[in-house]
Chains A and B, each alone.
Chain A
Amino acid sequence: MKTKVKSPLQKKIEKLIANRLAIMGFVLVLIILLACIAAPIITDFDPREIDYGAILQAPSKEHIMGTDKLGRDVFSRVLYGGRTSIYIGVAASLSGALLGLVMGALAGYFGGRIDSLFTRLSEIMLTFPNMILILVLTAIIGRGVGVLIFIYAITGWMTPYRMIRSSFLSLREETYVEVARSFGFSDARIIFNHILPNTLSPLMVTATTNVATYILNEAGLSFIGVGIPIQIPTWGSIMNAAKSIDVVTSYWWLWLFPGVILSLFVLAVNFLGDGLRDAFDPKQ
């Protein structure tokens, strides 16, 4: 009789699928993401089209999430805004992870001065209030989608850096790395082909949950009016209208719908991230 041997990856994926919350999260992420991508098919309304004949209408058959102060369709704005919000979250998380990965690999593998420099820098930046740093940087550099992603990358590399660095510190002492070195492989080959693949799964988990963090952060910044300029719809900038108490009390559809969709998406990403953590990173 032959027993089928499962690869570690297969086992991990099976464990992930068995996690109901994670799968629910994954499905929800997929639904919202696809709806945002397919926005032009789902709705005929232009998210920026102003219609003074239809301002502040409550949800109806025509405008299922109502209209805002300029008569723009809220549903369409939520869908198109989701595109920008999700794009910022994913791009910021990836670029932060990439920056942290490169710096962590260099510091962990070579050690010495470069290591103490990067580590010191990461400590300083971690004690600094991130939100305030982001605010100051937007004041100096300016505001916009690309700028915000850049700011998130240079303020968010520390956690990935520390993870990759500590993995490299322990892995570089492993026998297989010694063997690779004695074969005369180049440092670059050892770093990329031999050590890096073994450090990626915890990084993947962090990058996933960071997508949620950045989406939340962008929403917060845009809500208070210092993130993405108000002309570009994002989940946060749509809710900027709810800064006035009149909107909060009288025009609930202006903040409740984008808020719920934003919360659902972030919740789903976090459930997925937790599932990934349980499956791929049993230490945590």
Chain B
Amino acid sequence: MIPMMLLISALVFFALELAPVDPISYMVSPDMSMDSANLEALRESLGLNDPAYIRYFRWLGNIFKGDFGYSIVDGSSISRIIALKLPATFELALGALILSSVLGIALGIVSAIRQNGIIDYVSRFLGVVGVSLPQFFVAIIIVQLFAVKLGWFPTGGREVYGAVTFWDRLPNLVLPLVTMILSMTAVLVRYTRNTMLDVMSKDYVKTARSTGIAEWKVYIKHVFRNAMGPVLVIIVFRLPMLIGGSVVIESVFAWPGIGSVILGGVSTGDYPVVMMSTLMTSAVILFASFLVDLLTAMLDPRVRFE
């Protein structure tokens, strides 16, 4: 995990080097206006004339100290932007991840146990539909239906300021969350179903069944536990997609998360903001996949003993 993070940070740093901006503009808060002689002195004192690798390590050190630099567009501190926006994305992503995992795994299990039953057919069909409909199109339809026509929920935005509780924020959260859940559940149902079916044809399941224990015990203890490993892996694999997908969702619902920050940064050429947000997002994803690796080890003794 740590070498991976270092590598990504190096990629981010050198991409920033390639971007057509003067680094001084994002190392110094823009309110400190100064003439070019001062600027040159500052450049020397900040060590901007040092070789790239030295500057890389210094930059890395600053990040560890919590100094992320400044936006070149409005001069605000990047750490503040991230601290403000990342929680919004998490609220959405985590909610979608948990709900779609529960829903997807449950439907997948039922589809596998009652193979070719009604639930199986419906969820298989919806599975393909769910991955085929563009998220933003689904979002527009949902907004048109539930926000404009029925007026049940706001069309977008997020309540943050003041002493608002989670329950005050909930109405704004519902529609983007539902949109995200639809497509994520679709993939998971299908994968869970196929993995379950795969495990169900294994010899040890037949053996377990032949010992005469209750059918539901066979499913819970022998099939489900063995199917969970691959399903967890696919959930982790979808984490980056979840964060990436939030860019579109956040744009449609005017959700002030990190996706909006990155999108805004890309549109205005605010490279430092884009790079730092990317770095932070990948750090979170890496950490999450590390947690899931631990979880897999707990579920699967073979991994633990390796």
Contacts and interface: CB of A to CB of B under 8 A. Distances in A.
Interface of A: 124, 126-132, 135-136, 138-140, 212, 216, 219-220, 223-226, 236, 239, 242-243, 245, 248-249, 252, 255, 259, 262-263, 266-267, 270-271, 274, 284
Given A136-B274, A224-B248, A245-B143, 17 more contacts: A127-B4, A127-B240, A127-B282, A127-B286, A130-B241, A131-B248, A136-B15, A212-B132, A224-B247, A224-B263, A226-B263, A236-B134, A239-B137, A239-B140, A262-B134, A267-B129, A267-B132
Interface stretch (B76-84, B106-114, B265-273): B265-273
Q: Is the interface of A mostly helix, strand, loop or mixed?
A: helix
B137 A140 contact: no
6 contacts: A135-B263, A136-B278, A139-B271, A212-B132, A216-B132, A255-B140
Nearest to A249: B148
Contacts of A136: 15, 266, 274-275, 278
Given A136-B274, A248-B144, A129 B136 contact: no
Nearest to B7: A124
B140 A242 contact: yes
B101 to A, nearest CB: 19
A136 B44 CA distance: 29
A284 B4 CA distance: 31
Interface string B1-30: 000100110000001001100000000000
A125 B133 CA distance: 25
Interface string B223-265: 0000000000000010011011101100110000000001101
Interface residues of B, number: 47
B243 A224 contact: no
B243 A220 contact: no
B299 interface: no
Contacts of B281: 129, 132
